[in-house]
Amino acid sequence: MKRTIAVVLLLLVAAVAPGVVAASVRGSPDLDLYLSDNRVTPGEKTQLSVTIQNTGDIDSGGSPANEARVTTARGTTLEMRESSAPITIKSGKVAAGSVPEGTSPPIPFSIVVDEDAALGTYTIPIRVSYTYTNQISDRSPFVQQQRSVTETHDVTIVVEDESRFEIVGTTSDASVSDSGTVTVRVQNVGSAPAEDATLSVQSPNSDVTLGAGAQSAESFVGSWAAGETKSVTYRVNVADDAERRSYSLQTTVAYENEDGEQVQSSPLATGFVPGGAQEFEIGNVESNLRVDAEGTLRGQVANTGDVVAANAVLVIDTQTQNLNPVETEVALGTLEPGQASDFAFDIEVGEEASAGPRQFTFHVEYRNNEGEKRQSDPLDTQVAVGQKLKEFNVEAVNATVTGGQSTTLEVAVTNNGEETLSDISAKLFADSPLSTSDDEAFIQSLEPGETATIEFAVSADGAALEKNYPVSMDFQYDNEQGDTKLSDTYQLPVQVNEPEGGGLPVIPIAVGAIAIALIGLYVLYRRQ
């Protein structure tokens, strides 16, 4: 050990009486340096923790306070020096402050051991600098002396066979608001095997939990040869409100070394970025829904998330009265991120429904990467429900009848809907002064837009005024689903005309005939 000492005399009292000699306490610190763990392995990045032990020397005693003062090293600094040891020193000068008698807290120095370091014992010099009070008077007038010291201490390290671990890869299929897995690949980059090894992982953030919701998990991996890489997969859960950013994980390896000792590695930091929350979007929605009819609601559902949605099914949640889906689910198949699938729902709209915009709600059921069943948030869309559409367009082709006579009323019937109608039975209703002796007609079927003409026998009372009189009719028919329906009632105008030539009125003629008959009878009576 080398020492360099500088002596400084300080007068603590401005005036000291000549010839007065005060009793003094004299002493000095006595420092030794130790490494709490001096074993390292080739290629290791680690910290050497240096501990200072100060035993102190008292040459002349006195009060306990002054003895403590002369044995305390103040303003202490340590500097690890380069040597023949196969290491690179990453720490500069480190301040240790005041070091009284006893043991200091550990003082860390960062080093990197050479990858090709030969096994063996090496010496590392550490330069220590401090000041201390070597003499102080124990009573007034007070006089003290200070000294500054720089000395070098040697510590030893042992480069030996040892297991050492590094994370060489991390992958994850977890996403926000879902569970998944994180796979950590760890390599034993040391020069010795590890036995009965256990790999532990810890999440310091509550947004990421492991297993059934714990902050840590471990997996037994057994024997671990030098140079071997182990892959361990852990189940992780990411909170609903988690951000999409990197989340750190700390990994440690506990194992038994070649000497049968239980050893734990330094923490190994890694992390992963969860995928975005699984999301879906409804688009390209169109429909032909109308009051009192069955229509189709069509659209597309797209996977706008970052995770595959396997075996996806779109479910319609609408519970609105008078809107009744024929089927409530549509299979979408497996949707890759960004992929969309068409859907169509047949929906019956009741006759009591109102026309206008209606909201439909859907959700997607699917399986995530773990094969677990998941359900999306509600997906809403608005669809317009149209006014009720009359099933037929009805037009009178020949709708004129002469008073006191009959005619054939021809009616053109057109299918106004979007499906073929069959077994169409028409029924005509007439009120006085009109009447019908043939009030039924039949049409086998009508395709959308197709027209057929049907006929009815209509008569007009001879006393009917010349003007339009109404007749009404309705239809009973079957739709494409085989359901029998009854249509609305349709009204048609029938024009009643007077007889041609404007003939004598019926009543005056009858009265005249009676009068002539009476006159004839009177004349006959007189002749007798």
pLDDT tens for residues 113-159? 998 888 899 999 999 999 999 999 877 666 788 999 999 999 999 99
Cα separation of 200 and 218, whole Å?
4
Residue 15 has pLDDT above 60, yes or no: no
| pLDDT for the residue numbered 517 | 53
| pLDDT for the residue numbered 39 | 87
Residue 335 has pLDDT above 80, yes or no: yes
Mean pLDDT, the chain, whole residue set: 86
Residue 219 has pLDDT above 80, yes or no: yes
| pLDDT for the residue numbered 480 | 87
Residue 6 has pLDDT above 60, yes or no: no
pLDDT digits (tens, 9 = 90+) for 340-358: 999 999 998 888 888 889 8
60 and 137 in contact (C-beta within 8 Å)?
no
Cα separation of 458 and 412, whole Å?
16
| pLDDT for the residue numbered 514 | 54
Tell me the one-letter amino acid at 107.
Answer: I
Q: Residue 330 — pLDDT band, cuts 50, 70, 90?
A: very high
Tell me the one-letter amino acid at 471.
Answer: V
Cα separation of 133 and 117, whole Å?
43
Please give the helix or strand (H or E) that residue 135 lies within, else none: strand 120-137
Region for residue 296 given its phi and psi (left: phi exceeds 0; alpha: psi -120 to 50; beta: otherwise): beta
| pLDDT for the residue numbered 176 | 85
User: For strand 340-349 and strand 440-446, is the pairing parallel, antiparallel, or unpaired?
Assistant: unpaired
Mean pLDDT of 491-503: 81
| pLDDT for the residue numbered 524 | 53
Name the residue with higher pLDDT: 503 or 166: 166
C-beta atoms surrounding 290 within 10 Å: 19
Residue 13 has pLDDT above 80, yes or no: no
Mean pLDDT of 77-81: 95
Cα separation of 217 and 219, whole Å?
7
Cα separation of 298 and 83, whole Å?
79
| pLDDT for the residue numbered 179 | 81
Cα separation of 472 and 127, whole Å?
117
Residue 392 has pLDDT above 50, yes or no: yes
Q: Residue 2 — pLDDT band, cuts 50, 70, 90?
A: very low
Q: For 442, how many CA atoms within 13 A lie in the half-sphere containing its CB?
A: 2
**% of the chain with per-residue pLDDT over 90:** 57
| pLDDT for the residue numbered 305 | 84
Residue 511 has pLDDT above 60, yes or no: no
77 and 97 in contact (C-beta within 8 Å)?
no
User: For strand 490-497 and strand 400-402, is the pairing parallel, antiparallel, or unpaired?
Assistant: parallel
Beta-bridge mates of residue 58: 27
- Domains along the chain with CATH numbers: 3-159 (2.60.40.10), 165-272 (2.60.40.10), 280-385 (2.60.40.10), 392-502 (2.60.40.10)
HEC assignment per residue over 339-366: CEEEEEEEEEECCCCCCEEEEEEEEEEE
Cα separation of 433 and 463, whole Å?
8
Cα separation of 176 and 1, whole Å?
61
| pLDDT for the residue numbered 521 | 56
| pLDDT for the residue numbered 319 | 67
| pLDDT for the residue numbered 245 | 87
| pLDDT for the residue numbered 170 | 93
Of 18-27, 241-250, 361-370, 418-427, where does the model show the most confidence? 418-427
Give the CA-trace dihedral at 270, 276, 277, 281, to 10 degrees.
-170
The gap between the terminal CA atoms of the chain, to the nearest Å, is: 189
Residue 8 has pLDDT above 90, yes or no: no
pLDDT digits (tens, 9 = 90+) for 304-324: 887 888 999 999 986 677 888
| pLDDT for the residue numbered 473 | 94
| pLDDT for the residue numbered 278 | 81
Quick check: bond before 433 cis, omega within 30? yes
pLDDT digits (tens, 9 = 90+) for 434-458: 999 999 999 999 999 999 999 999 9
Q: Residue 516 — pLDDT band, cuts 50, 70, 90?
A: low
| pLDDT for the residue numbered 364 | 93
| pLDDT for the residue numbered 523 | 45
The label of the residue with tokens 């000549």 reads 18
| pLDDT for the residue numbered 95 | 95
pLDDT digits (tens, 9 = 90+) for 171-204: 988 888 888 889 999 999 888 899 999 999 999 9
Cα separation of 100 and 74, whole Å?
8
Helix (H, G, I), strand (E, B) or coil at 477: strand
Cα separation of 176 and 182, whole Å?
13
